[in-house]
Amino acid sequence: MSKQRIEPNDASSALWVGDQPPGDFTIVYGEPIPDDLRAIAADLVPAGFRLLVVSSRDREELLRLMPGADFLLVATARVDEELLRAAPRLRLVQHQGVGYDNIDVDACRRSAIPVALTPEGTTIGVAEHTVLLILALFRHLITVDAAVRRGEWPVWSMRSRSVELAGKTVGLIGFGRIGREVARRARAFDTTIVYHDAVRAPAPVEAELGATSVSRDDLLRQADVVSLHAPLTAETRGMIGERELRLMPPHAVLINTARGALVDEPALVRALAEEWIAGAGLDVLVQEPPDAGNPLLTCPNVILTPHVAAGTRDAYRTKMHAVFANMQRVARGEAPLNQVS
């Protein structure tokens, strides 16, 4: 039966979602989501669970809800010691994605609360979005679209600047699930695939994807496209800075659908302004949303999207299936899947 009812809760401006029998387990969703996503989640909430969705990003609202939370579902909401202290019943912190830099894992460990990720539903969307950004940059999609809307018809002027993906070298920094799916799609465009990862892929994977492991510097020198698919850690923060950008060919483009802080943004702004590289496609920024004065907003050779690479309806349904299944495992006394160690 469809569970579309959304009711306000007397103690908070948060919303109960779906059929809400008394008792059982309460899931607090720490992200304000629109009605259409709440309806999807409502259809998928398992029997015996209740879903309470915050109405805003007000930290105090989330803190007020935590005493009744058995499970916490987050995407970007900060999870720290203060929040955990307010949640004596909490059994699991479930991130709906894979980048968990907003979660204090050490604090969760001290409180004996596992943290789990949701790789399901992330891979395909990010891989497709990566290819979208590459093609849009190579064919100057934003520029020609704007020109046509202004009444122009630049049928000749862009030809000397537009290039094809076929025959180019795509360099992937990070060759996990997403990097490999990007390689699979890029290879269909008749590209050469090189990658750099701290852990080399098994030989059968390299053979299947036609991918060659190289040093990071060699990748930067060789690639026409440098695409980032690494997690944000102390070691990877700012991994693409002035030195790395100067290693790239002047016709190359940088793609980042991972985490904004992997890139030194001031160095990137300078690289774009002085044409060390040809362009950048960014789904992530250091500060999200950016300040109005962020110079990347006015760079003509940049395409910006609002951290939506994994944000499709298909991905959301897949994620909610996986999220709720993991919570059911924990409710049965089992260990969650995809736990952060």
Residue pair 164/158 in contact (Cβ under 8 Å)? The answer is no
In whole angstroms, give the CA distance from residue 171 to residue 174.
Answer: 9
Q: Which of 307, 317, 321, 329 is catalytic?
A: 307
Catalytic residue among 91, 95, 259, 265: 259
β strands within the chain, DSSP E: 6-8, 15-17, 25-29, 49-53, 71-74, 92-95, 115-116, 169-173, 192-196, 211-213, 225-228, 253-256, 279-282, 302-304
Strand 71-74 and strand 92-95: the pairing is parallel
* Contact indicator for 240, 124 with CB cutoff of 8 Å: no
Is the separation of the CB atoms in 57 and 32 below 8 Å?
Answer: yes
Q: Which two structure tokens, joined as six digits, stand for 181?
A: 């799916």
**How many residues can be counted in the chain?**
341
Residues 269/279, Cβ–Cβ less than 8 Å:
no
235 is catalytic: no
Could you give the CA distance from residue 81 to residue 113 in angstroms, rounded to a whole number?
11
Q: Give the active site residue among 81, 288, 313, 334.
A: 288
288 counts as catalytic? yes
User: Is 251 one of the catalytic residues?
Assistant: no
**Single-letter residue type at 197:** D
What residues are labeled active site? 259, 288, 307
